Structure 1
Amino acid sequence: MSEAFVKIDLHGLRQEEAIKVIDKAIAAAGPATYHLQLIHGYNRGTSLRSMIYDWYKYEPKVKRIMPGDNPGITVLVLKELY
């Protein structure tokens, strides 16, 4: 993965499936990848949003977790921009 900001669409995935997709993206993230933008949706995506915060808050490669531009997006920061 060579993009600095990677978008991952998690719509329609169960929590277990989403974890596999996110874990694979984290493992594939190269030195140029700063953020993983996880698109989970707002109404039906709230369980995924909660899972992302709970599951990845202690992941060593994730520097911090922050909300995206709208409530249906969560961003995993792998590397700070500065």
Structure 2
Amino acid sequence: AFCAADAKWITGYRKGVTVGLAPGGIAKVWISGPCVSPIEVTRVQGEVVKEGPSGGQTNGKYALPLEPETKAYIEKYGVPYGSW
């Protein structure tokens, strides 16, 4: 690959992984490296796990209690999955 940073031809390799998160539970993964174009490896759609946190061991509740402000927000607006 031609590296514009130092105007030299190099034998490039990819050594970086980037995970991008988007609204609606979508994630994309790219591999990249110096002076080479990134390659998209995958795009995946997340889903809500019905067992809840801890794989169902806590009856769908978080092991730690929520802060009062957080609990009030969730009770009023729900969990904002679409904002991720």
Normalised by the length of structure 1, the TM-score is 0.20
| Higher helix fraction (1 or 2) | 1
Give 1 or 2 for the bigger CA radius of gyration: 2
Q: Normalising by the residue count of structure 2, what TM-score does the alignment of the two structures yield?
A: 0.20
Larger RCO (CA under 8 A, 6+ residues apart)? 1
Higher strand share: 2
